[in-house]
A = this chain, B = another copy of it.
Amino acid sequence: MNLLTKYKSVRLASEQMVEPLHIEDYVPQAATFASPPKWNLGHTTWFFEEFILKPHSQDYKVFDESYSFLFNSYYNTVGERVTRANRGSLSRPLVSEVMGYRKHVDKAIQQFLQNSTLTKDIEDIFIVGINHEQQHQELFFTDLKYNFSVNPTFPAYNNKAFCEDEESETMAWLAIEKGIYDIGHQGDGFCYDNELGAHQVLLQDFEISNKLITNGEYLEFLKDGGYNKFEFWHDEALFWLKDKNISHPMYWLQKDGKWFQYTLAGLRLLQDKHILTHLSYYEAAAFAQWKGHRLPTEFEWEAACHKFDWGKRWEWTESAYSPYPNYKKPNGAIGEYNGKFMVNQKVLRGGSVVTPQGHSRKTYRNFFHPHIAYQFNGIRLVK
């Protein structure tokens, strides 16, 4: 697929994604981390304007000078930005203006691609822009789910509940032998800077589960009083449980003795056989300890993942998000993409039901702080 086709296809996907929304749904931001749909649509567009069109397309006419400021995220390199927590306070630009912005940039990109021969550097950043938009497609779903979830009427995005993938596999332990394994991205395809620096690691013998934990398995932990047994929890997890008053996974709700979960299709009865989701690392690690097992490291996961199906949940690993040996932070704004987050976060591997097809790969390193549960993440055990 050539670049323009790829670009168009990803851009179209973003617009199809918002079709079920009403204008009002584009605006709120119920927590700092949950950006409004309007912002996600503008920010992904801003990336192409800021890093491709402004520096490289000579006759490009900026759509609106204020957007450079309004749709910047964490890119210190690029100048001032609206405080992240304030994105939901802005009724303007209107949805129609953001859509106009998208059309304006799409047209300019199309002309640029047709009239220019891209240098390797520009092509690289262009591909980052496409992958960046895919990441925000995933965030669109997780952010929207959160923003809807605070509404006591539990609105539905559509009638398809993304959590409701039945788990049919029978549990089995897959054995991996002690040895030296290749880690990190190799070859020509796209990857992020944090996957580079391919290297070898020495792994000990271990066994990894072929399947993800289900709601039913986690309910056993709840019923055993797991949230009150301090011996299974990290010290700061105990503080987190108490401070946030947490006693069950995010989006779970108990009514009249029955467990429900909020899904993008609205509130649904919790199904034992479905794959568990929306866990923090703290909960994942406590569950693993309670089971007498542990979470895999990211290296174990990468070495073993050819042996099992993955891609329904981002899977928490025991590994802290750190640079690979010989990791080099790229220059300029792209250098802000990954390296600066390499402290106090945990690596997740795999992908989720809302990850765009083809976006993830076996060397992909997702990362979140250990208390984050609003992603479609899950648990795979190792022993």
Contacts and interface: CB of A to CB of B under 8 A. Distances in A.
Interface-central residue, A82, A88, A148, A340, by most chain B CB under 10 Å: A340
A58 interface: no
A152 B70 contact: yes
Interface in A77-128: 77, 82, 86, 88-95
A74 interface: yes
Interface in A38-80: 38, 66, 69-70, 74, 76-77
7 contacts: A24-B27, A30-B89, A70-B153, A76-B231, A86-B150, A319-B322, A343-B370
A260 to B, nearest CB: 17
Contacts of A190: none
Interface of A: 22-30, 38, 66, 69-70, 74, 76-77, 82, 86, 88-95, 147-148, 150-153, 155, 180, 199-202, 204, 206, 230-231, 233-238, 281-282, 285, 289, 294, 318-320, 322-323, 325-326, 329, 335, 340-344, 346, 370
Majority SS at the chain A contact face: mixed
A151 B92 contact: yes
Contacts of A322: 318-320
A329 to B, nearest CB: 8
Given A24-B26, A150-B86, A155-B91, A234 B335 contact: no
Given A27-B24, A66-B153, A200-B202, A234 B90 contact: no
Nearest to A206: B325
Contact of A204 (B69, B199, B206, B234): B199
Interface-central residue, A233, A326, A329, A344, by most chain B CB under 10 Å: A344
A281 B343 CA distance: 10
